[in-house]
Amino acid sequence: MIDLSKGFSRRQFIARTSCFGAWYAVARLIPVPALAAGDSRVSQTPIVDKGFASVRKIGEGLYATISDPSKGLTTICNGGFLVGKDTALLLEGFAGPAGATFQMDALRMVSRVPVQGALDTHYHFDHSMGNSFYGANGLPLWAHATAAKRIVESYAPMQGADKEAVLGPFEKRVKDAKSDMERAHAQSDLNAMTGVFQIANATVLGLPNHPLDPAKLPMTIDLGGLTARVESYPGHSGTDIVVRAPEQNVVYTGDLLFSGWYPVCFDEKATISGWRETLKKFAAFDKDTLFVPGHGQICGQEGIASIREVFDDIAGQAEKMYRAGVPVGEAQHRYVVPDKFKNFPIYAWGFTIGPAITKLYAEWQGK
Ligand SMILES: [Zn+2]
């Protein structure tokens, strides 16, 4: 017989322990959110602020949901919604159904129009684990054509899996670390994986049912007096979708932009050269473009310039080591965070800087 009470108390235990380590560790570093300085489109007063996230108007019919993981992990990623005269479009599935519910409630504070659908900017857990909310409400869910497959492949095997089996290899890396630095990096990776494991086990997977074939993009969605343009770019996850409101120069980038954070590069389909090329394209968008990043604060072109500088710095340090013959296993730990980026949160070393360097080495070796 299944002891439900036991399962429940275990879930409660998980929720109360600080095992979402990486997010808490990162959250401690997040400075008080500063809005895109002086941009008159961004409302100073949010329509709702629950601590873990706030929602504010950033244009005509355009809203941004900005998360603050230091105050709770209901949403984790940023999102938003676009509201036309006839229909609305919701962005992101967040870290759980409560996150998607929160955003839907925010939409209902400003409009009663029917929802045409929701869209995940990519498959990662913090953007998709709340998808079941859309399924339960009969809402179509758009995402990159391979997003559903990658959600299943990445998170279904964790459900009900033996925690030790999943986290064991990460614990072993902490134990086997050859220096304090390597141990700290391995510990940050273990914390991150622990969080992913727990969130994946706390949710019912919901899959996008409107696959977007990148070969058929861009696609335009008419919301009634407001156009959403859906585009795909390489870089962060191999499933990255961007939503633009071209008439107002507003772009919801998903994780192709980490604003004031070190970029998360671990994905097997992440491409550093592809990502830098994408950012170069973003930099060529109108100078008044407002970007809603996947993580971090709303920004203008200065946010794009800043993440490009971070990539330049990682590539610069990596190239010096590559030329000096430093083996990749060592190089991935030896990057030094420069002073000007010392306040940029690092989600976990082995999800950000480490794989960026490994991938750069592979590109240089023509692999
Ligand atoms: Zn992501």
| Dist CA 185 CA 207 (whole Å) | 33
| Dist CA 194 CA 24 (whole Å) | 12
Distance of CA 124 from the midpoint of ligand 1 (Å): 5
Per-residue pLDDT at 88: 98
Per-residue pLDDT at 246: 97
Distance of CA 173 from the midpoint of ligand 1 (Å): 23
Beta bridge partners of 20: none
Per-residue pLDDT at 46: 94
Distance of CA 127 from the midpoint of ligand 1 (Å): 7
Distance of CA 86 from the midpoint of ligand 1 (Å): 31
Q: Tokens standing for 269?
A: 């389909």
| Dist CA 158 CA 179 (whole Å) | 30
Residue 36 contacts residue 290 (beta carbons within 8 Å): yes
| Dist CA 148 CA 170 (whole Å) | 26
Question: Would you place residue 11 in the very low, low, confident or very high pLDDT band (cuts 50, 70, 90)?
Answer: very low
Mean pLDDT of 85-97: 98
Distance of CA 57 from the midpoint of ligand 1 (Å): 24
Q: What residues have CB less than 8 Å from 80, skipping those under 6 apart? A: 55, 58, 62, 63, 64, 65, 91, 92, 103, 252, 292
Instruction: Output the CA torsion sign for 148, 143, 86, 112.
Output: positive
Residue 138 has pLDDT above 60, yes or no: yes
| Dist CA 272 CA 332 (whole Å) | 14
Per-residue pLDDT at 39: 86
pLDDT tens per residue, range 291-333: 999 999 999 999 999 999 999 999 999 999 999 999 999 999 9
Per-residue pLDDT at 333: 96
Distance of CA 258 from the midpoint of ligand 1 (Å): 9
State yes or no: cis peptide before 234, omega within 30 of 0: no
Distance of CA 126 from the midpoint of ligand 1 (Å): 7
Can you give the pTM of this predicted structure? 0.92
Mean pLDDT of 63-83: 95
Q: What residues have CB less than 8 Å from 3, skipping those under 6 apart? A: none
DSSP, collapsed to helix, strand or coil, labels residue 189 as helix
**Residue whose C-alpha is closest to residue 350's, from 181, 155, 235:** 181
List residues, by chain if needed, whose CB lies under 5 Å from ion ligand 1: 124, 255
Is the backbone of residue 260 left (phi > 0), alpha (psi -120 to 50) or beta? left
Distance of CA 325 from the midpoint of ligand 1 (Å): 31
Per-residue pLDDT at 8: 38
Residue 186 contacts residue 169 (beta carbons within 8 Å): no
Distance of CA 85 from the midpoint of ligand 1 (Å): 31
pLDDT tens per residue, range 173-209: 999 999 999 999 999 999 999 999 999 999 999 999 9
Question: Would you place residue 32 in the very low, low, confident or very high pLDDT band (cuts 50, 70, 90)?
Answer: very low
